[in-house]
Structure 1
Amino acid sequence: MKETFKTVAVFQYSAEALIVKGRLESEGIEVFTTDMHTIDTDPLVSNAIGGVKLKVRTEDEEQALQIIQSIHEYSMNDEGNPIHCPECNGEKIILASTIDSFKGLLFFLFGFILFLLPMYQKMKYRCQDCKKEFNIDE
């Protein structure tokens, strides 16, 4: 008997795919990836070959899709509740890096010129609705 597989998600990078793969496997669903090693070798070909594909058995497709849809795209607090914007009370909050000082700009340029990873980087929450940046303790 030939088993068939369905693609339930596609990701540009393998790190994203591995996170979702781990979540599906923790729910007892066997997950297979395709094109992951090719993209790890040369990330620039990701768009050309269609990204890293997560595949599951056909009978697990519906359950896998439900689990993937339950994964929250936006930031959550330690209790698993959505973080709210202090300005508009929205829930579409992302954690983003920001360069908001001359010192930060200098370190960024220094790292960029020498091909180093950023050494100085502030992280702030940003509301996708009103674009306000804030710290969690505000």
Structure 2
Amino acid sequence: MKEKLVTVARFQYSSEAQIIKGRLVAENIETFLADEYIIDTDPLISNAIGGVKLQVWKEDKILAEEVLANISSFSVDDNGEALICPNCQSHKIRYYTTINDFRSFFSFLLCLFFVVLPISVSYKYHCENCHKKFNLK
């Protein structure tokens, strides 16, 4: 009897989680999303509550992790080649949103005041190995 759910992945937004959930469902793995609706209601708290959690039954954890391992979670260029960190030459690159420039910060404050989603955010690549943030251009 299936008794316990375990988290196999976390996502910042529910749309990302839905895509991966679909892949697991295609492999006949029963999946659940925790905190999906909370983050859909207020995406700004995603990091505070640990994101959307993709969960499977404990008995299916190993199979789910094998399926997830076959999905490349790192960024690739337009040709499908893995991106390389300019600092340490690592291939473990992820794409993140940031609000550290003036335009993004002003947009964030404006949207916070009017209780709407941010209009402008910056996107940067982030190396998981050396933690350097960079753009391709």
Q: TM-score range by the shorter chain?
A: 0.5 to 0.7
Larger radius of gyration: 1
Q: Distance in 2 between matches of 1:39 and 1:9?
A: 12
The change in CA–CA distance for 1:93 and 1:111 in structure 2 (over 3 A counts) is same
Cα deviations by residue, 1:33-86 (Å, 9 ceiling, x for unpaired): 34x4x7445569xx7xxx552249x6x775543212222332222343321011
Could you tell me whether the CA contact under 8 Å between 1:39 and 1:52 is conserved in 2? no
- Structure 2 residue matching 1:97: 3-state secondary structure: strand
Deviates more, 1:83-92 or 1:11-20: 11-20
Contact kept, 8 Å, 2:56 with 2:64, in 1: the verdict is no
TM-score (norm: length of structure 1): 0.63
Q: Hey, what does 2:55 align to over in structure 1?
A: 53
Q: What is the alpha-carbon distance in structure 2 between the residues aligned to residue 79 and residue 96 of structure 1?
A: 20
Q: Which residue of 1 aligns with 2:125?
A: 125
Measured at CA, do residues 70 and 107 of structure 1 come closer, stay the same or move farther in structure 2, by a change above 3 Å? same
User: Number of residue pairs matched?
Assistant: 124
- After superposition, the CA RMSD in angstroms is 3.5
TM-score (norm 2): 0.63
User: What are the Cα deviations for residues 102-123 of structure 1, in whole angstroms up to 9, with x where unaligned?
Assistant: 2322212111222221111121
CA separation of 1:5 and 1:16: change in aligned 2, threshold 3 A: farther
Structure 1 gaps of 5+ residues are none
Identity %: 30
SS in 2 for 1:31: coil
- Are the equivalent residues in 2 in contact too, given 1:82–1:91 (CA < 8 A)? yes
Aligned partners of 1:4 and 1:63: how far apart in 2? 15
Unaligned ranges ≥5, structure 2: 40-44
Distance 1:90 1:25 in 2: 32
Report the AA paired with residue 96 of structure 2.
A
Give, as a single letter, the amino acid of the residue that structure 1 aligns with 2:30.
Answer: F
Pairs within 5 Å for 1:99-118? 99-118=99-118
